[in-house]
Amino acid sequence: MSMKPFPMNLNFKTGELTPNDRTNIRKLSDMKGMFLDSEAERRILEKDDPLIYSFSEKVLPEENGHLQIATTTIHPGKIGDEYHMTKGHYHRRPDTSEMYLGLEGEGCLLMQTVEGDFESITIRPGTVAYIPPYWGHRMVNTGRTPYIFFAVYPGDAGHNYGDIEKTGFLKILIERNGKPLLIDNPRWKK
Ligand code: S6P
Ligand code: ZN
């Protein structure tokens, strides 16, 4: 028996997706070693464990032919000079793509391939970004308000976090003189 069609509601201001089945929370302690300034990370974690981002998903079959639907909110802030960001990932099936739609706030989509290509796209409310197959992706909140975006990707894409945990991203986004600046990641390993 095939699945029946159904509606959902997406609040364009808050990113709230209803109904959704699961909200995942990522605090600084879940992202140890991902920000460049490990001393700043240690100092913050001594006192606090700030929420970096959360994402809500509708649970749909992880099968070819279906789609996955999610909204993410990255809270504003920095660890040292580096803006709050998602962990970032490749897809477990690397030949799958993804679409992001910016809803609120301002930030940047960082993308890279295992061969060492790199691209970035500024995403504001209304920006639609297409992430082709084989491009790892991470979102970064460069603003002072929550950064909210909507994502749609193939049902069987899955997530590969391990490769980004090992190599990091080629470039990182830091604040310099009050403005975002993309710099080479001194820890990047191909
Ligand atoms: C999934 C899609 C998003 C992210 C979410 C959190 O393919 O790209 O829903 O899962 O933004 O980021 P991350 O890197 O922790 O999965
Ligand atoms: Zn993805």
CATH number of the domain enclosing 51: 2.60.120.10
Whether 127 is in a domain gets the answer yes
Q: Does residue 129 have its Cβ closer than 6 Å to ligand 1?
A: no
Residue nearest to atom 15 of ligand 1 (CA): 87
Whether 7 is in a domain gets the answer no
Mean pLDDT of the chain: 97
For residues 183-189, average pLDDT: 92
Write down the pLDDT at residue 93. 98
Q: Residue 23 belongs to what domain range?
A: 14-184
The alpha carbon torsion through 187, 92, 162, 139 (nearest 10 deg) reads 50
* DSSP E strand stretches across the chain: 9-10, 17-18, 22-27, 51-58, 67-74, 78-79, 82-83, 98-104, 107-112, 118-123, 128-131, 136-141, 147-154, 171-176, 179-184
Residues 133, 137, 138, CA angle at the centre, nearest 5°?
170
Whether 6 is in a domain gets the answer no
Whether 3 is in a domain gets the answer no
Whether 8 is in a domain gets the answer no
Q: CA neighbours within 13 Å on the CB side: how many for 88?
A: 27
Assess whether pLDDT exceeds 90 at residue 127: yes
Whether 9 is in a domain gets the answer no
Does the predicted model carry a pTM greater than 0.95? Answer: yes
Q: Which one of the ligands is nearest to 70 CA?
A: 1
Q: What is the DSSP letter of 2?
A: P
Question: Distance (Å, rounded) from C-alpha 107 to C-alpha 127?
Answer: 11
Instruction: State which ligand 1 atom lies nearest to the alpha carbon of 57.
Output: 9
Assess whether pLDDT exceeds 90 at residue 189: no
Residues in the chain: 190
- Total domain count, the chain: 1
**CA 157 to mean position of chain CA atoms:** 15
Whether 110 is in a domain gets the answer yes
Write down the pLDDT at residue 71. 98
Whether 94 is in a domain gets the answer yes
